[in-house]
Amino acid sequence: MAHSFSVHGKTVSVFPGTAPDAPAVYLNTFAGEIPQIVSQLHGQELPDFSLVAISDLDWNHDMVPWDQPPVFKNAVPCTGGADDYLRLLTETILPLAEKELAGVPRWRGLAGYSLAGLFALYAMYRTDVFSRFASMSGSLWFPGFPEYIRTHGLPRLPDCIYFSLGDKESKTRNPVLKNVRDNTEAIQAYYQHLGIRSVFRLYPGNHYNHAVQRTADGIAWLLEQPSASCGVTRLSQTDSQRPTASP
């Protein structure tokens, strides 16, 4: 049974697992997609887990790390509010959500589609609260993001990272959006070079095809990864200052 509450205009829906230490996956998403994603996940044979879905987001503010003018016609500009939202997520939403759980999760994942996939990777550099990440059709075309990864360190090595993309998403004349596949593949290869377990899956279709299925698949992959292959590795302060390879 789901428990829901509101925080600063965001709606939080908590679907508790049954085991006291069941892992918790945090998903930034649209309210209308939550029942479908839950149905897809519950239709699979997956380890016990809790899902915390946050909706009613200001997508072009909450999910983006810095300001960015529109990159296509009729779009609104992005105003970088990711740090403020991440603070709300980790300091307010997470403690309230986990009061609804049977115990403390043995690990936490962070997942999202599109701009929420971009946010998941950005959050990896800003907090050590989460250890597994899923970026489905992530907006990794976002200007400056590959450079950010190249020049910033991680507070901890993630256990594992999932990437997916539609095979038509990069087939565009837009000079910014067309970089999404190259960027995604390069970033995934970079994390593999760091020794982080990761996978990149290519789906048929464009950015808007089968978003619910792609989201559920990414979460399922996180849940299926054995703990033995995903140790919690924290970087030393020296190591975290500069990565050793470039995306």
pLDDT tens per residue, range 77-124: 999 999 999 999 999 999 999 999 999 999 999 999 999 999 999 999
- pLDDT tens for 136-186 read 999 999 999 999 999 999 999 999 999 999 999 999 999 999 999 999 999
Give the pLDDT band of residue 73 (cuts 50, 70, 90): confident
Do 41 and 219 touch, CB atoms closer than 8 A? yes
User: Domain for residue 130, yes or no?
Assistant: yes
Q: How far apart are CA 230 and CA 226, in angstroms?
A: 7
Query: Residue 100: its pLDDT value, please?
Result: 96
Domain region containing 207: 3-241
Give the pLDDT band of residue 247 (cuts 50, 70, 90): low
Query: Residue 35: its pLDDT value, please?
Result: 96
User: Domain for residue 69, yes or no?
Assistant: yes
Name the residue with higher pLDDT: 245 or 121: 121
User: Domain for residue 93, yes or no?
Assistant: yes
User: Domain for residue 60, yes or no?
Assistant: yes
User: Domain for residue 246, yes or no?
Assistant: no
User: Domain for residue 160, yes or no?
Assistant: yes
- What CATH number is associated with residue 187? 3.40.50.1820
User: Domain for residue 117, yes or no?
Assistant: yes
Q: How far apart are CA 112 and CA 216, in angstroms?
A: 10
The structural domain count of the chain equals 1
Centre a 10 Å sphere on the Cβ of residue 226 and count the other Cβ atoms it contains: 9
User: Domain for residue 247, yes or no?
Assistant: no
Listed residue (204, 223, 226, 211) closest to 42, CA to CA: 223
pTM: 0.91
Listed residue (184, 81, 62) closest to 135, CA to CA: 184
